[in-house]
């Protein structure tokens, strides 16, 4: 029965089209995270806009651009806007969107959420960043307080989109409701093994890519006794400190697009030490480049890698790094080919279409908002295809 359901899911995903795709639809996405920032949220939104456009859906962004901004304390590279209610209302009404999505919980997100509630417009949200853990790493504010605030923020949404089954389970246990899947994808044309360059570093090369900040847990990787070379690609507020602490590490700074892809494909193992990412799309980029993953068994790596032979998840990160050296690079590439941004966009569009149609009652009752199943129940995850819950329970399969 489980394999029959999987076969049907793949067939339906490949042939089905949402109603939104059959007619023009415009979605306004409110976000506090925006260029020139380079992070998972900004990259995901950019990929969404490109993929949705190919499906006939226009994505417009309401970002901090055009507003006065200020740097976040302890993180000067991240700037927040303080928009007024009238200016937000004017921008939303000028955009004339069919649906509204709030991608972040910062000032822009709060302002657009407030507009929607006052105007009686249903909207969707997404949970993309572990702010409770990020803030707790920088201040004495208890995580539970922040989770309660976030739960209240998302409670007003018709759908709160999450990237992985384990995050859905975790947030459900914290009282979040109306959760729906919106997984991620990878550009397999940009990230591929044949783009590798000769870095002229001692091998094996253990590499990580991302923001150089306390929440990324980089010392857990950089302090390991590993052969060869350790390479960090990215920039952030912890960079100067880590350069002093780990002088043997190669810090290459921020690299983008084809240059990043060429460096990533040159690695032997991609190390993902973060304990707080909700997904980590750079894992898929590494796999598409033919590079196996070494990570802790936490949300993000556990959902992307799972039991697939493309990475090693271990509480002993050094052991994971060494064991990952034996993984087939061809298997990594083949695994990544299963993920596409187009299928990710289809999930997003399916959720957005419900609020665009004003069918909020329907949205509250449909499968994407079902409670996640427990780990003991049967699970089938079709990468990029599950606009419905990622878990097929015994009740659903009956």
Tell me the three state secondary structure of residue 72: strand
Based on the number of CB atoms within 10 Å of its own CB, is 6 exposed (0-12), middle (13-18) or buried (19 or more)? middle
pLDDT for the residue numbered 315: 98
pLDDT for the residue numbered 375: 36
Distance separating alpha carbons of residues 72 and 263, to the nearest angstrom? 30
Model confidence at 206: pLDDT above 90: yes
Share of the chain above pLDDT 70, in %: 80
CATH number of 9-185+341-397: 3.40.50.2000
pLDDT, tens only, 289-347: 999 999 999 988 999 999 999 999 999 999 999 999 999 999 999 999 999 999 999 99
Enumerate the domain spans of the chain: 9-185+341-397, 193-336
- The number of CA neighbours under 13 Å toward the Cβ of 398 is 3
Q: How confident is the model at residue 80 (pLDDT cuts 50, 70, 90)?
A: confident
Model confidence at 1: pLDDT above 80: no
**Quick check: do 9-185+341-397 and 193-336 share a fold?**
yes
Model confidence at 396: pLDDT above 60: no
Tell me the three state secondary structure of residue 35: coil
Average pLDDT in the 178-206 region?
Answer: 96
Share of the chain above pLDDT 90, in %: 65
pLDDT for the residue numbered 39: 77
pLDDT for the residue numbered 358: 53
Buried b (16+ CB within 10 A) or exposed e, 73-106: eebeebbbbebeeeebbebbeeeebbbbbbbbbb
Average pLDDT in the 251-273 region?
Answer: 96
Distance separating alpha carbons of residues 95 and 74, to the nearest angstrom? 34
Distance separating alpha carbons of residues 10 and 8, to the nearest angstrom? 5
Q: Which residue has the higher pLDDT, 51 or 144?
A: 51
Average pLDDT in the 102-111 region?
Answer: 95
CATH topology (fold) of 193-336? Rossmann fold (3.40.50)
Q: Which residue has the higher pLDDT, 136 or 368?
A: 136
Contact 290, 307 (CB under 8 A): no
DSSP 127-180: ----HHHHHHTTSS--HHHHHHHHHHHHHTSSEEEES-HHHHHHHHHTT--SEE
Q: How confident is the model at residue 138 (pLDDT cuts 50, 70, 90)?
A: low
Q: Provide the 8-state DSSP code for 371.
A: P
């Amino acid at each position: 029965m489980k394999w029959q359901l999987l076969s049907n899911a793949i067939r339906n995903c490949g042939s089905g089209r949402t109603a939104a795709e059959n007619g023009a639809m415009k979605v306004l996405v409110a976000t506090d995270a925006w260029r020139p920032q380079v992070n998972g949220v900004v990259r995901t939104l950019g990929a969404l806009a490109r993929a949705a456009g190919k499906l006939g859906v226009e994505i417009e962004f309401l970002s901090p651009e055009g507003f006065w901004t200020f740097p976040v304390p302890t993180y000067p590279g991240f700037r927040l806007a303080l928009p007024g209610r009238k200016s937000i209302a004017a921008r939303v009404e000028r955009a004339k969107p069919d649906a509204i999505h709030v991608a972040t919980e910062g000032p822009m997100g709060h302002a657009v959420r407030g507009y929607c509630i006052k105007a009686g417009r249903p909207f969707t949200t997404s949970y993309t960043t572990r702010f409770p853990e990020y803030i707790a790493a920088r201040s004495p504010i208890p995580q539970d307080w922040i989770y309660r605030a976030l739960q209240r923020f998302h409670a007003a949404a018709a759908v709160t989109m999450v990237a992985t089954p384990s995050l859905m389970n975790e947030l459900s246990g914290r009282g979040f409701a109306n959760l729906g899947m919106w997984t991620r994808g990878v550009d397999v044309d940009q990230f591929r093994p044949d783009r590798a360059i000769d870095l002229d570093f001692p091998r094996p090369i253990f590499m990580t890519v991302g923001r150089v900040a306390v929440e990324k847990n980089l010392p857990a990787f950089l302090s390991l006794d590993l052969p060869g070379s350790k390479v960090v690609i990215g920039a952030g507020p912890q960079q100067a400190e880590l350069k002093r602490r780990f002088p043997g590490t190669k810090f290459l700074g921020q690299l983008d697009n084809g240059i990043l892809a060429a460096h990533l494909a040159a690695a032997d193992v991609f190390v993902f030490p973060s304990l707080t990412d909700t997904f980590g799309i750079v894992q898929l980029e590494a796999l598409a480049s033919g590079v196996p993953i070494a990570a802790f068994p936490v949300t993000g790596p556990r959902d992307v890698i799972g039991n697939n032979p493309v990475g090693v998840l271990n509480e002993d990160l050094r052991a994971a790094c060494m064991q990952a050296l034996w993984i087939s690079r061809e298997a990594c590439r083949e695994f990544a080919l299963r993920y596409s941004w187009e299928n990710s966009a289809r999930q997003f569009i399916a959720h957005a279409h419900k609020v665009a149609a004003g069918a909020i009652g329907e949205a509250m009752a449909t499968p994407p908002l079902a409670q996640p199943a427990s780990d003991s129940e049967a699970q089938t995850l079709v990468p990029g295809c599950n606009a419905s819950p990622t878990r097929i329970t015994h009740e659903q399969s009956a």
